[in-house]
Structure 1
């Protein structure tokens, strides 16, 4: 999942284009970050009625299960249904200054021209979650590469101890094995990789 720029399209309404699409998912995130200090000192909590605050929180949670993630339908009947509230009563609550839809805004979805609702706080939370996910993935991939290189180095050391000390050789053989589609690095494959490195070095010297 990548985060696109939160752009503004032209047109009569100049609605912002939501940066996430229906293809974007955070399926492994069964929880959401909640800035409790920000919430405890917010106008919504300090001035909103208890019922409005409860529905406000419900809608934030519901938005994480919607598509695109973090949005709500721009439809009062659906929102009332989501919150198990009578539509007329729900609309009355939303008409108050600190209603269930406090600071929710209209936007357009990039992959469709559908108009939905988004909340800046929810969008910021999602953006940070995506960044953390990408960072964790990068760290995991880097750790896996290091482990794979170390295993290869240990195996090569059993054949040629001096060659195992050559970082460039180990990295080249690792890339060669991946390119050749080697799934199980047995002795035959390791010997072929070592021969490939040897031939590469020989060809390099021959061209001088």
Structure 2
């Protein structure tokens, strides 16, 4: 089965951008049972299956990730196969580009495969979840260190969650890279002014 381009108006936009990367991932998830029972494996020739699998691996290093060029002569070079022979294989119902389809990627036409996209979407979601967890853990550690430092100045202040978070935010806004005693004292002073301002406003509304 030959691969033909659909009218531009019917081409979907690829959901991932060139900014979505998995540079630290040196492996890809492979649904073994799904592969063992899919039509491509059961009906495709050994040669087509090999090229098909190679193209999936190649797509992980493309930009955007998970896509391929639409030019079959370029794909043939990537696979180290004769372009004419590759073109013939692509005309088969279960050729190397089985289920790859054309999408728009930031103005460029590329090829994508739904299985590859689903796997990448899951991997990126896990990456974002891990980053969020790491950031939350880093924030918790930073607040714990700040609370411990504040306890050396004022135990009541250190026990005040709102004060600890406000001082932490203030230090970040001020661009404090090393939380020396002078920075901590300035933070405490600014918190005092902020707390006083809040009390004055509360009295004004009373």
The TM-score with structure 2 as length reference comes to: 0.89
Alignment of 1:36-115 (within 5 A): 36-109=32-105, 111-112=106-107, 114-115=108-109
Distance 1:168 1:42 in 2: 56
Match of 1:127 in 2: 121
User: Could you give the per-residue CA deviations for residues 134-175 of structure 1, whole angstroms, max 9, x where no partner exists?
Assistant: 111111111110000000000011111121111111001101
Alignment of 1:166-181 (within 5 A): 166-181=160-175
Shift of 1:13: 5.2
Larger RCO, structures 1/2 (Cα 8 Å, 6+ apart): 2
The correspondence for 1:22, drawn from 6, 18, 22, is 18
Instruction: Say what the alpha-carbon RMSD is for the aligned residues.
Output: 1.7
Q: Give the paired residue count.
A: 197
Shift of 1:12: 5.5
User: Could you give the per-residue CA deviations for residues 113-145 of structure 1, whole angstroms, max 9, x where no partner exists?
Assistant: x32211001111111111111111111111110
Shift of 1:199: 2.0
User: Could you give the per-residue CA deviations for residues 39-83 of structure 1, whole angstroms, max 9, x where no partner exists?
Assistant: 111111112111111110000011111122111111121111111
Shift of 1:94: 1.5
The TM-score with structure 1 as length reference comes to: 0.89
Match of 2:186 in 1: 192
Distance 2:36 2:74 in 1: 29
Match of 1:202 in 2: 196
Shift of 1:202: 2.4
The correspondence for 2:28, drawn from 27, 32, 36, is 32
Distance 2:78 2:36 in 1: 25
| Alpha-carbon spacing, 1:33–1:70, altered in 2? closer, same or farther (3 Å) | same
Distance 2:102 2:130 in 1: 32
Distance 1:11 1:104 in 2: 16
Q: Give the helix-richer structure, 1 or 2.
A: 2
| Alpha-carbon spacing, 1:121–1:190, altered in 2? closer, same or farther (3 Å) | same
